[in-house]
Amino acid sequence: MDFSVIGDNLSYLMLGAWPEGPLGGAALTLVLSVSSALASSAIGLALGVALAVTQGATHRALLAFVGFFRAIPVIMLIFWAYFLLPIVLHIDAPALGTVVCSLSLIGGAYLAHSVWAGISSLPRGQWHAARALGMRPWQVMRWVILPQALPIMAPSFVNQWISLTKDTSLAYVIGVGELSFVAAQVSNRVMVHPTEIFLFVGAVYYLVCASLELCANRLARRYAVPVR
């Protein structure tokens, strides 16, 4: 084992070509992870609330929409977005945007079910009581249901964030210079010590994801539903 290859390329692995060139490496992984986590939370919350309040055909259409994104591999969605967004929307979609877009949609689809489950776990009496007090449906959702349901869902959001962080590595397939991509690049260039390079890269991801997992577990204990 010879980890000097890491030291020699540390700045490239962490920051990419920055500040001379575009940001890359672990820093870009973090940017991708945080932005897709935020976007997927917003999408998941909106879809989850929509799933909870709709019925009949609208509800089934929503379920099918969410189901589609849960059924296809992230790589397939990245391909679709990367090759079809420019054709369909006549815009020049940057690779970074495509990745964030794909990851947020898939993350949002998974979160939608957690949000829906969190809302459904509250007793129906909460709705009835708030409505009887004269609140409008959206006010009930905003002031009564979500403040109770969100803490229950908090661990799901953090767990989804872990998945997203790992999935940012898939940006590799369309050549976005995040951590996995630059690692493969360095490995191909120096042609020696691939084991050390990928062990190091794995350790960097592990540091981020394992700390997030600690957060999720702590949140889960804090907001655990007491056993009756």
Q: Three-class SS of residue 31? A: helix
Q: In terms of Cα–Cα distance, which of 32, 133, 42, 115 is closest to 74?
A: 32
Kindly indicate which of the ranges 7-15, 37-45, 77-85, 115-123 contains the residues binding another protein, using the contact rule CB under 8 A: 77-85
Residue 175 binding another protein, by CB under 8 A: no
Residue 28 binding another protein, by CB under 8 A: no
Number of residues that bind another protein (CB under 8 A): 41
* CA–CA distance, 215 with 204 (Å, rounded to integer): 17
Amino acid at 97: G
When binding is defined by CB under 8 A, the residue of 38, 61, 84, 133 that contacts another protein is 84
* CA–CA distance, 156 with 160 (Å, rounded to integer): 6
* CA–CA distance, 30 with 36 (Å, rounded to integer): 10
Kindly indicate which of the ranges 13-21, 126-134, 190-198, 216-224 contains the residues binding another protein, using the contact rule CB under 8 A: 190-198
Closest contact distance (angstroms) between CB of 168 and another protein is 8
Residue 13 binding another protein, by CB under 8 A: no
When binding is defined by CB under 8 A, the residue of 145, 183, 216, 219 that contacts another protein is 183
Closest contact distance (angstroms) between CB of 123 and another protein is 22
Residue 65 binding another protein, by CB under 8 A: no
When binding is defined by CB under 8 A, the residue of 3, 138, 143, 206 that contacts another protein is 206
Beta bridge partners of 178: 25
Q: In terms of Cα–Cα distance, which of 41, 21, 4, 32 is closest to 205?
A: 32
Torsion angle (degrees, nearest 10) of CA 74, 78, 81, 86: 180
* CA–CA distance, 25 with 140 (Å, rounded to integer): 44
Q: Enumerate residues 138-157 that contact another protein by CB under 8 A.
A: none
Closest contact distance (angstroms) between CB of 81 and another protein is 10
* CA–CA distance, 30 with 45 (Å, rounded to integer): 22
Closest contact distance (angstroms) between CB of 122 and another protein is 22
Closest contact distance (angstroms) between CB of 39 and another protein is 19
Place of tokens 């820093």: 27
* CA–CA distance, 16 with 39 (Å, rounded to integer): 24
* Interaction site with another protein (CB under 8 A): 68, 70-76, 79-80, 83-84, 87, 162, 165-170, 172-173, 180, 183-184, 187, 192-199, 201-202, 205-206, 209-210, 213
